[in-house]
Amino acid sequence: MLDFESADLIQPGGHTVPRGLDTRLSLYFLDRPAGSHGAAQRLRVMIATHDTDGEPRGTIIFSPGRTEFIEKYLESIADLTARGFWVVMVDPRGQGLSDRLLEDRIRSYVASFQDYADDIGWVADTLAPHCPKPFIAMGHSMGGTIMLQAVLTGALNPSAVICSAPMLDLIDVDSGLLRGSIRALSAMGLAKRNLPFQKQRGGMPLSFADNKLTSDRDRYRRWAAFFQDTPRLRVGEPTFGWIAAALNGMAFVNRNAGQLGVPGLMVAAGGDQIVDPVAIETFALRSGCDFHVVPGAKHELFLERDAMRNEFLERIDQFLDDQAL
């Protein structure tokens, strides 16, 4: 246990921590002082130690996607620690049990994706004396964009970066006119208003039949239970401001792909209906990263059916072995 304020672990409906992980898992609140990123922020952070004999291989610093939270990834954290890594995961500002940014706590908003990236860098610096090196950046969807932006701006200096379905182009926001309109409306004072015509309401998950995330019914059900049973975890539909920030973040990352400067693995979901797999492949080519696509998988590779999820994890294993990490 470190000398930080302890944080809650959410376990709805008897949901349990994977066997053996419970004794290696610690959650804390870290208080980030006010600065260029805005007001002071209390961020919930998890540290999980490795589940193998001998010295750890390093630390994976993980950033989840929009609306997501630490507990969603407990199965995957167990998988990564079984491979000899420590895992550090952060609830992004405005999500999970980290500080919310608006009076209406459920609204999905951020001023800039650089705020997310700088939060990750600050957490990494704060925990660096306590966590084994090397550091490996990992992110899913929004978290992939955050990690790439953190590396490109120097907020984080990992030995490698691994992204699952990184949000580099949004399928539903695919025209210049729509993107320009969202940016303009955000700048005109609607930044904190919810984007209209969204299926999601009140932070509640859609039915399995309507979901674009995974074809695994059981994993979807376990994920949905957190929002159904724990209102303080809920995050609603994106605001104009969040979409505008996402558009700016994606544009920055794509524009600077050639400057990444560290080994990377970009994994796309072949059946993704949220982010464009072609944009991920294009970024990989421009940045010199390895690229892999999991055929037929929906957006949430960490929550997909075993065959697709195992293919994804095996590709991560191969990349880490190739990089001697």
User: Which residue bears the tokens 């209102």?
Assistant: 231
Contact partners, residue 23, CB within 8 Å, separation at least 6 = none
**32-36, 71-75, 125-129, 283-287: segment of lowest average pLDDT:** 32-36
User: Which residue bears the tokens 């609603």?
Assistant: 236
Taking only the tens place, the pLDDT of each residue in 169-200 is 999 887 677 787 888 878 888 888 887 767 66
Taking only the tens place, the pLDDT of each residue in 219-266 is 999 999 999 999 999 999 999 999 999 999 999 999 999 999 999 999
d(CA 218, CA 240): 33
**Helix (H), strand (E) at residue 255:** helix 240-255
Nearest to 42 by CA among 4, 117, 93: 93
DSSP-assigned states of every residue in 132-183: PSPEEEEEETHHHHHHHHHHHTTS---SEEEEES--SSBTTS--HHHHHHHH
Question: How far does Cα 113 stand from its chain's mean position?
Answer: 12
SS3 44: strand
Residue ranges per domain, the chain? 5-322
Q: Please give the structure tokens belonging to residue 193.
A: 């208003």
Query: Whole-prediction pTM value?
Result: 0.95
Taking only the tens place, the pLDDT of each residue in 15-59 is 778 988 999 999 999 999 988 777 899 999 999 999 988 999 999
Contact partners, residue 116, CB within 8 Å, separation at least 6 = 63, 92, 93, 110, 142, 146, 149
The pLDDT value recorded for residue 60 is 98
Taking only the tens place, the pLDDT of each residue in 259-302 is 999 999 999 999 999 999 999 999 999 999 999 999 999 999 99
Nearest to 116 by CA among 7, 37, 195: 37
The pLDDT value recorded for residue 183 is 85
The pLDDT value recorded for residue 175 is 66
Whether residue 325 is predicted with pLDDT greater than 90 in this model: the reply is: yes
> Could you say which DSSP state residue 204 is in?
B
Q: What is the mean pLDDT of the chain?
A: 94
Task: Tell me how far CA of residue 213 lies from CA of 114, 146, 206, 229, in angstroms.
Answer: 26, 20, 10, 20
**7-16, 111-120, 233-242: segment of lowest average pLDDT:** 7-16
CATH superfamily of domain region 5-322: Alpha/Beta hydrolase fold, catalytic domain (3.40.50.1820)
Taking only the tens place, the pLDDT of each residue in 302-313 is 999 999 999 999
